[in-house]
């Protein structure tokens, strides 16, 4: 097809041909062509097959607002052919067909359409029970559009924040004027438009008989907008939702912009609606504006012989455009009985177009899958035509019967959509503060009014922001003429008058939904799926509301429309998923672990060494690490532990109230176990409290729990008002635990200013001094049950500390150990891990830690509940168990403890103990079997029942002599 | 004189391996080992004027909080900002940021010649004044250049454009999902933002920022470029 000469073809670059393929056929277009326009330029009008009946579909809106234009690209299915540009060698395929796009076997379904009524799924698969399971795989195979390429490497998507005083959505005349007014008044303005160029309808619509005004106004506004440094223009960008406080997600390319606007002005325009008649979905039947877009934006003739069905003057303007493009206009079928005489209607008459006033297109007919003629009839009452017909041959039918405001964003902001019976149009009201609308979205159609309203909306915004104190002019009077015809719907004996193209829903489907008892528009939507397809009711909401209103004897205003939820337009998953942040924390010793061959695991945000060695040797590596600690000395990174500084005159009293133990009388230089419960007496954390001075405690907390502990402390002291300061210094300290019989020997090599002798620095003692020249806090703790010292140093000294200790331990072959070995070592000692051996119900008595609860304190958090629980018989007990059958599978965490068929508990920890040579574990059991010597049954892997003996804790070194060496 | 190694000091930046991977040249400033430069220094200063990131984590800094903290620090001859979330410079180049009515962050100058941090750290703590180990709890990165605010908008929800976020202003916010204190502290005419954030997440943040900077041709820079920009009046 030869393109129309300039100024037709605004968006294409005729000097840059682009070769691409569609359905394996090589085609040519120009740079700037959308897939749909390039296909049209090659006389390829069939774009897709409909979802349900596989009917042939062509372009409808040329605005990316309908599902007809969905095609398959290598990178993604459901690409909108009228928005996506062609690129060199782009491979485009149709989708949703069996066989070929032209000869689709799925189209046979249309023959059975009378057996597929509305609510078919609900009716057909409801009975007999279980039948749905049989049908579901078949239906699912048929459902869905397009194919996902699972081999595709994902593209790089990301996000960016933007901040503006005013965001104007839509760069048509009202939008550009609003942006200019706000910018001139000093605001930082973002002007967003989904199209490639500014101008909106001025780029393709004809506003006057001569056809010059739109272009002149556009050129002037675009010049002023682009020259204004206060305005940022973002084209090819979709404002995809409105969220509270004018938070606007804008999608442009592969980036999601998160825009904060102080004021938002919606100039989103209006969406043209289709007439509803027999075969209104044939390729070649399109919106009047789509035909104008094809001509003005891409230089393409949308047909050779056209009929226009209209209810307004826009149809006449289109007819003039078509004639300017040398297209034969066979008739204007005007639904109005007596159209007003205007410049446009007069011009059409002058050019000899046959105008059929008071007529409707009753049916369209096809030849080779494209419209070939229309059957026009006299309207005798709304929706009813006379039997006499007149056939007009054509290959193009343009529909200009009305609009709906592009209301989606306004409704998401809380705007209310009403229906004005007089203008037969949806209108918006009840908009929130900080949001204005202007232009055709606010039912202004005259260009002058749109410009005035754009300026007015901007002045409201600039006044609200304090940039101006101008008088707000009165709103312009709405035009008396409406572009909407009140009933462009004509039922046909053979049906196929489509209300919803996405879901192949006809007049009968909507009416029958109400007859099935679903009278509310929301129920009609869900029952019929009207408006649930990709175009989300953009072209079905108005017709469906009118039909439901008529069928239920209500007004359209009473019927309403369905909710317009985000997103406005389809968005790629990459836009939500792209460039997300997953914080990762590493101790200062991290790379020393890697260099030593550690297998790292992620615990929350932390990277921790699990064990050192090859994955294939996991168990032997862990066992060797355990044995080395028991028999020699090992070094483990404990930097992930939480650390809290509690300082001030009331520090002791504060800890007394927070933790279960007593701390006021704790000696300076001593550490004490600190168990934390919540108000319900449930254990939520533990650690040790080290007293370095009268007014200074350094309290450790679990890796995953410290933030919660810190928040709890702040919360409680906000009430208690104790004279104490709480600081979370977890990241400020790096720490190791040097543990094993030779720990003192190794540490002594690098620590000269602290007397490490057992008497001078006993178990649970704390000291401050230096290790390898680094200021350090030392804590003698026994989590792994051996002579051990935790050494805490400022974070950035961690690696130097590790190096110094490893060097000092070389002589005795000290080895690092990971948290897997640490877990076994502590299990051998019967020490619990919070949140592994405890759950959301665990209290201190259940886990045999009543010893850690002071009975002498007047108060601590959870104390009252614990006192009450102590008076009741326990429901369960955490006990140690040993599996004696060496051939039995080792139970795992969460395996059940059974009493016959009855579940009585569960395993919380279990591992093979290298020190004891058998599997050991902890489990919640019924109190009746909590005594040492009792037998329990555990359902292990594969359902095998494993017998275990309950034993006293700890499993290893029951006299705890080793840690106190 | 041999070039200092990042591991010769006991205090080591958590991301010194990132610097060595970029063939950094190191220098000793006071007790700190810092990246001097990665590329030719004068070229690096030009790049930094567009968009650069520097690691200053080994330079001195400290913090104080508590009901008596502000009065005590002021009593040591330190000038304090009037309002929370603002920062002021001392005559020795030390910057003091007021994070709340009871908390201060005190950071060294780029040459580490100022004595304020050291002086405050050596004083016995006064009543209701509690020192905070900011040199180890928080890393210290600097983002420089005209494209800095644009880059920040990819990782931070606060409007840091220079006409909205004045010099000496402080934002306590989230940066790439981790908590951060951002202070605008220009180097003469070049916008510069200090970032103080959880030190154990430094590598994560460094990588995130460099990734965000790539679009604007941002690069890692050494302290030499910062000093060049600061002297460029």
**Tens digits of residue pLDDT in A716-741:** 999 999 999 999 999 999 999 999 99
Contact residues, chain B, for A773 at CB < 8 Å: 10
Per-residue confidence band for A559, with pLDDT thresholds at 50, 70 and 90: confident
Q: What is the pLDDT of residue A1?
A: 76
Residues B68 and B125 occupy one common structural domain: yes
Q: How far apart are the first and last CA of chain A?
A: 95
Q: Which domains does chain A have, with CATH numbers?
A: 1-109 (3.10.20.440), 110-142 (no CATH), 158-271+405-465 (3.50.50.60), 274-401+482-493 (3.50.50.60), 497-570 (1.10.10)
Q: Chain A contacts of B65, Cβ < 8 Å? A: 725, 727
Domains in chain B: how many in total?
2
Q: Is residue B6 part of a domain?
A: no
How far is the C-alpha of A771 from the C-alpha of A754, rounded, in Å? 9
- Sort A937 into a burial class: Cβ within 10 Å, 0-12 / 13-18 / 19+: middle
- Tokens for A50, please give them: 């409909």
pLDDT at A36: 98
Q: Considering only CB atoms, which chain A residues are within 8 Å of B208?
A: 581
Burial group, residue B20, by CB count within 10 angstroms (0-12, 13-18, 19+): middle
| CA–CA min distance A156, chain B (Å) | 11
- CA A341 to CA A788: how far, in whole Å? 99
In contact, A675 and A660? CB cutoff 8 Å: yes
**Angle, alpha carbons A326-A329-A334 (nearest 5°):** 145
- Reading the block at residue A305, the tokens are 């012989």
Same domain, B39 and B88: no
Contact list, A717 vs chain B (CB under 8 Å): none
Q: What angle do CA B63, B68, B73 make, to 5 degrees?
A: 50
Question: Mean of the pLDDT values across residues A894-917?
Answer: 95
Looking at the fold, whether B45 and B149 belong to one and the same domain comes out as yes
Min Cα distance B125 → chain A (Å) is 11
**Number of Cβ pairs < 8 A linking chain A and chain B:** 106
Residues of A in contact with B12 (CB under 8 A): 588, 796-797, 799-800
Are A732 and B199 an interchain contact pair (Cβ–Cβ within 8 Å)?
A: yes
* CA atoms within 13 A of residue A646's CA, in its CB half-sphere: 29
What six digits make up the tokens of B212? Answer: 């965000």
A587 contacts on B by Cβ (under 8 Å): 200
Across the interface, whether the CB atoms of A794 and B17 are under 8 A apart is answered no
What residues in chain B have their Cβ under 8 A from chain A's Cβ atoms? Answer: 7, 9-14, 17, 57-58, 65-66, 128, 130, 132-133, 135-138, 153-157, 159, 161, 164, 176-178, 198-201, 203-204, 208
- Give the tens place of pLDDT for each residue, A271-309: 999 999 999 999 999 999 999 999 999 999 999 999 999
Nearest CA in chain B to A156: B211
- Tell me the mean pLDDT in the region A367-394: 97
d(CA A780, CA A61): 76
Is B146 a domain residue?
A: yes
Residues contacting A445, CB < 8 A, separation 6+: A479, A481, A483
Q: Which residue of A has its CA nearest to B13?
A: A796
Inter-chain CB proximity B198 and A582 less than 8 Å? no
Q: Do B157 and A258 touch (CB under 8 A)?
A: yes
**Cβ <8 Å between A161 and B153:** yes
Quickly count: other Cβ atoms within 10 Å of residue A961's Cβ. 9
Above 0.95 for ipTM, yes or no? yes
Mean pLDDT computed over A17-33: 98
Q: How far is B96 from chain A (nearest CA, A)?
A: 20
CA distance A294 to chain B (A): 36
Query: Mind listing the pLDDT tens digit for each residue in A460-502?
Result: 999 999 999 999 999 999 888 899 999 999 999 999 999 999 9
Q: How far apart are CA A697 and CA A20, in angstroms?
A: 72
- Nearest-angstrom CA–CA distance, A962 and A797: 30
**pLDDT band at A782; cut points 50, 70, 90:** confident
As a whole number, mean pLDDT of residues A569-585 equals 90
Mean residue pLDDT of chain A comes to 95
Mutation for B interface: A732, A734, A773, most B CBs within 10 A: A732
Place of tokens 């073809």: A9
For residue B105, give the CATH number of its domain: 3.30.70
**B30 with B65, same domain?**
no
Residue of chain B whose alpha carbon sits nearest to that of A647: B130
Chain B residue whose CA is closest to A164: B159
Same domain, B214 and B167: yes
Identify whether residues B124 and B143 lie together within a single domain.
Answer: no
Whether A650 shows a pLDDT value over 90: the answer reads yes
Give the closest-approach CA distance of B43 to chain A in angstroms. Answer: 29
The answer to whether residues B150 and B168 belong to one domain is yes
Distance separating alpha carbons of residues A861 and A853, to the nearest angstrom = 11
Cross-chain CB nearest to A581 (options B132, B159, B176): B176
Prediction pTM value = 0.91
Cβ–Cβ gap A161/B199 under 8 Å? no
Q: Are B99 and B84 in contact (CB under 8 A)?
A: yes
A834-889 pLDDT, tens per residue? 999 999 999 999 999 999 999 999 999 999 999 999 999 999 999 999 998 888 99
Q: Specify whether B208 is located in the same domain as B144.
A: yes
pLDDT of residue B233: 59
Give dist(CA A15, CA A17) in Å, integer. 6
The CA–CA distances, whole Å, from A70 to A65, A85, A327, A334, A532 equal 10, 13, 27, 31, 16
Q: Which residues from chain A sit within 8 angstroms of residue B55, using beta carbons? A: none
Closest residue in A to B160 (Cα–Cα): A163
Are residue B88 and residue B169 in the same domain, yes or no?
no
Nearest residue of A to residue B205 by CA position?
Answer: A583
Facing residue for A794 by CB, picked from B136, B178, B198:
B136
Domain of residue B78: give its range: 61-135
Question: Taking CB atoms and an 8 Å cutoff, what residues of chain B touch A158?
Answer: 154
**Total residues belonging to chain B:** 233
Name the residue facing B13 among A639, A773, A796 (closest C-beta): A796
Give a yes or no: residue B8 inside a domain: no
The 10s digit of each residue's pLDDT in A744-781 is 999 999 999 999 999 999 999 999 999 999 999 999 98
Q: Could you tell me if residue B9 is inside a domain?
A: no
pLDDT for A562 equals 84
| pLDDT tens, residue by residue, A651-665 | 999 999 999 999 999
Does B219 lie in the same domain as B157? yes
Say if residue A929's pLDDT is above 60. yes
Residue A588 has its nearest CB partner, among B14, B66, B135, at: B14
Do residues B55 and B143 share a domain? yes
- The answer to whether residue B1 sits within a structural domain is no
Question: What pLDDT sits at residue A778?
Answer: 98
C-alpha distances (whole Å) from A91 to each of A13, A62, A71 are 21, 20, 10
**Would you say residue B218 lies in a domain?**
yes
Q: What is the pLDDT of residues A134-150, one digit of tens each?
A: 888 877 777 777 888 88
Distance in angstroms (rounded) separating the CA atoms of residues A392 and A309: 12
- Compute the Cα dihedral for B82, B86, B90, B95 and give only its sign: positive
CATH code assigned at B200: 3.30.1360.120
pLDDT in tens, chain B (233 residues): 578 999 999 999 999 999 999 999 999 999 999 999 999 999 999 999 999 999 999 999 999 999 999 999 999 999 999 999 999 999 999 999 999 999 999 999 999 998 999 999 999 889 999 999 999 999 999 999 999 999 999 999 999 999 999 999 999 999 999 999 999 999 999 999 999 999 999 999 999 999 999 999 999 999 999 999 999 75
- One domain, residues B101 and B148: no
Judge contact between B156 and B208, C-beta under 8 A: no
From chain A, which residues contact B within 8 Å (Cβ)? 158-163, 258, 260, 579, 581-588, 591, 605-606, 639, 645, 647-648, 723, 725, 727, 729, 731-733, 772-774, 794-797, 799-800
Q: Of all residues in chain A, what percent carry a pLDDT higher than 70?
A: 100
Nearest CA in chain B to A731: B137
Which member of A159, A591, A645 has the closest CB to residue B17? A591
Distance from CA of A528 to the nearest CA of B (A): 42
Q: Which of B126, B136, B180, B206 to mutate to test the interface with A (most CBs of A within 10 A)?
A: B136
């Amino acid at each position: 097809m030869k393109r129309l000469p300039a100024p037709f073809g605004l968006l294409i670059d005729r000097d840059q041909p682009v070769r691409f393929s569609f359905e394996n056929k090589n085609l040519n277009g120009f740079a700037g062509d959308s897939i749909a326009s390039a296909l049209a330029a090659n006389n390829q009008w069939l774009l897709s097959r409909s979802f349900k009946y596989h009917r042939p579909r062509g372009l409808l809106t040329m605005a990316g607002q309908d599902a007809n234009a969905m095609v398959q690209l290598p990178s993604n299915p459901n690409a909108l052919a009228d928005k996506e540009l062609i690129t060199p060698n782009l491979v485009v395929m149709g989708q949703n067909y069996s066989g070929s796009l032209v000869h689709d076997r799925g189209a046979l379904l249309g023959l059975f359409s009378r057996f597929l009524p509305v609510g078919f799924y609900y009716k057909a698969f409801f009975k007999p029970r279980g039948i749905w399971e049989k049908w579901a795989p078949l239906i699912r195979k048929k459902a869905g559009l397009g194919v996902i390429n699972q081999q595709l490497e994902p593209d790089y998507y990301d996000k960016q924040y933007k901040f503006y005083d005013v965001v104007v959505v839509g760069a048509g005349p009202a939008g550009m004027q609003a942006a200019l007014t706000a910018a001139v008044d000093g605001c930082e303005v973002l002007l967003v438009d989904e199209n490639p160029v500014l101008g909106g309808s001025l780029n393709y619509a004809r506003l006057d008989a001569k056809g010059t005004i739109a272009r002149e106004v556009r050129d002037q506004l675009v010049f002023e907008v682009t020259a204004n440094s206060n305005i940022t223009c973002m084209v090819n960008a979709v404002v995809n939702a409105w969220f509270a406080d004018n938070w606007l997600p804008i999608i442009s390319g592969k980036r999601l912009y998160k825009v904060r606007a102080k004021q938002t002005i919606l100039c989103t325009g209006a969406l043209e609606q289709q007439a509803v008649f027999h075969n209104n979905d044939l390729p070649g039947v399109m919106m009047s504006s789509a035909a104008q877009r094809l001509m003005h934006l891409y230089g393409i003739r949308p047909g050779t012989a056209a009929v226009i069905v209209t209810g307004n003057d826009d149809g006449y303007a289109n007819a003039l455009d078509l004639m300017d493009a040398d297209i034969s206009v066979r008739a204007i079928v005007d639904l109005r009985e007596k159209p007003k005489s205007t410049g446009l209607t007069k011009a059409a008459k002058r050019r000899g177009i046959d105008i059929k006033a008071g007529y409707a297109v009753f049916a369209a007919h096809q030849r080779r899958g494209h419209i070939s003629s229309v059957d026009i009839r006299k309207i005798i009452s709304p929706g009813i035509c006379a039997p006499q017909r007149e056939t007009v041959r054509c290959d193009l039918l343009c529909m200009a019967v009305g609009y709906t405001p592009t209301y989606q964003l306004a409704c998401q902001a809380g705007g209310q959509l009403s229906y004005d019976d007089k203008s037969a149009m949806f209108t918006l009201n009840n908009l929130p503060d900080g949001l204005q609308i202007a232009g055709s979205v606010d039912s202004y159609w005259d260009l002058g009014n749109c410009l005035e309203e754009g300026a007015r909306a901007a002045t409201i915004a600039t006044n609200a922001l304090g940039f101006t104190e101008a008088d707000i002019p009165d709103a312009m009077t709405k035009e008396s003429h409406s572009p909407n015809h009140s009933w462009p719907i004509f039922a046909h004996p053979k049906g196929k008058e489509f209300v919803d193209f996405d879901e192949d829903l006809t007049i009968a489907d909507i009416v029958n939904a109400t007859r099935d008892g679903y009278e509310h528009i929301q129920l009609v939507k869900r029952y019929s799926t009207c408006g649930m397809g990709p175009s989300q009711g953009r072209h079905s909401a108005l017709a469906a509301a009118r039909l439901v209103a008529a069928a239920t004897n209500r007004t359209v205003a009473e019927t309403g429309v369905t909710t317009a939820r985000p997103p406005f337009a389809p968005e790629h998953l990459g836009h939500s998923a792209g460039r997300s942040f997953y914080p990762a924390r590493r101790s200062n010793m991290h790379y020393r672990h890697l260099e030593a061959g550690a297998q790292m695991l992620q615990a929350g945000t932390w990277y921790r060494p699990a064990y050192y060695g090859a994955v294939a040797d996991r168990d032997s590596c862990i066992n060797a690490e355990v044995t080395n600690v028991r028999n020699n000395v090992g070094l483990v990174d404990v930097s992930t532990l939480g650390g809290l500084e509690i300082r001030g005159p009331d520090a002791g009293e504060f800890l007394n109230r927070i933790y279960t133990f007593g701390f006021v009388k704790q000696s300076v230089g001593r550490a004490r176990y600190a168990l934390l419960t919540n108000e319900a007496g449930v254990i939520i954390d533990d650690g040790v409290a080290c007293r370095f001075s009268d007014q200074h405690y350094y309290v450790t907390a679990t890796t995953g729990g410290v933030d919660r502990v810190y928040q709890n402390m702040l919360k409680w002291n906000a009430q208690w008002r104790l004279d104490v300061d709480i600081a979370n210094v977890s990241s400020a300290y790096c720490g190791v635990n040097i543990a094993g019989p030779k720990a003192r020997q190794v540490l002594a090599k690098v620590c000269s200013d602290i007397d490490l002798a057992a008497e001078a620095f006993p178990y649970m003692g704390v000291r401050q001094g230096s290790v390898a020249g680094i200021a350090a806090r030392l804590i003698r703790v026994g989590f792994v049950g051996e002579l051990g010292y935790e050494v805490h140093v400022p974070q950035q000294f961690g690696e130097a500390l590790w190096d110094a200790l490893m060097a000092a331990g070389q002589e005795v072959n000290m080895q690092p150990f990971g948290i897997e070995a640490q877990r076994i070592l502590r299990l051998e000692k019967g020490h619990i891990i919070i949140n592994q051996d405890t759950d959301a119900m665990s209290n201190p008595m259940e886990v045999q830690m009543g010893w850690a609860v002071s009975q002498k304190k007047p108060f601590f958090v959870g104390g009252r509940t614990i006192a009450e629980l102590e008076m009741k018989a326990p429901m369960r007990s955490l006990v140690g168990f040993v599996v004696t059958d060496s051939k039995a599978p080792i139970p795992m965490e969460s395996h059940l403890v059974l009493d016959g068929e009855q579940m009585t508990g569960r395993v919380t920890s279990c591992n093979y103990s290298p020190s004891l040579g058998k599997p050991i574990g902890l489990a919640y059991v019924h109190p009746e079997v909590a005594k040492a010597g009792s037998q329990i049954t555990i359902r292990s892997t594969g359902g095998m029942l494993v017998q275990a003996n309950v034993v006293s804790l700890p499993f290893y070194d029951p006299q705890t002599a080793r840690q106190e060496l | 004189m041999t070039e200092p190694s990042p591991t010769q000091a006991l205090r080591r930046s958590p991301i010194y391996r990132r610097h060595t991977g970029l063939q950094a040249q190191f220098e000793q400033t006071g007790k700190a080992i810092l990246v001097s430069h990665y590329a030719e220094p004068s070229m690096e200063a030009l790049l930094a004027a567009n968009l650069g990131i520097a690691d200053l984590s080994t330079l001195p800094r400290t913090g104080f909080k508590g009901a008596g903290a502000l009065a005590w620090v002021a009593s040591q001859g330190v000038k304090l900002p009037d309002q929370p979330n603002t920062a002021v410079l001392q005559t020795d180049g030390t910057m003091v940021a007021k994070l709340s009515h009871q908390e201060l962050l005190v950071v060294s100058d780029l040459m580490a010649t100022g004595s304020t941090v050291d002086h405050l750290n050596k004083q016995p703590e006064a009543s209701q004044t509690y020192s905070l180990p900011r040199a180890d709890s928080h890393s210290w990165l600097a983002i420089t250049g005209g494209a800095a605010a644009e880059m920040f908008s990819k990782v931070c929800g606060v409007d840091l454009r220079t006409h909205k976020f004045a010099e000496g202003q402080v934002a306590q916010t989230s940066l790439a999902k981790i908590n951060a204190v951002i202070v605008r502290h220009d180097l003469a005419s070049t916008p510069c933002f200090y970032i103080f954030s959880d030190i154990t997440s430094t590598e994560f943040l460094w990588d995130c920022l460099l990734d965000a900077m790539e679009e604007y041709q941002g690069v890692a820079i050494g302290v030499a470029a910062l000093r060049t920009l600061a002297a460029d009046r």
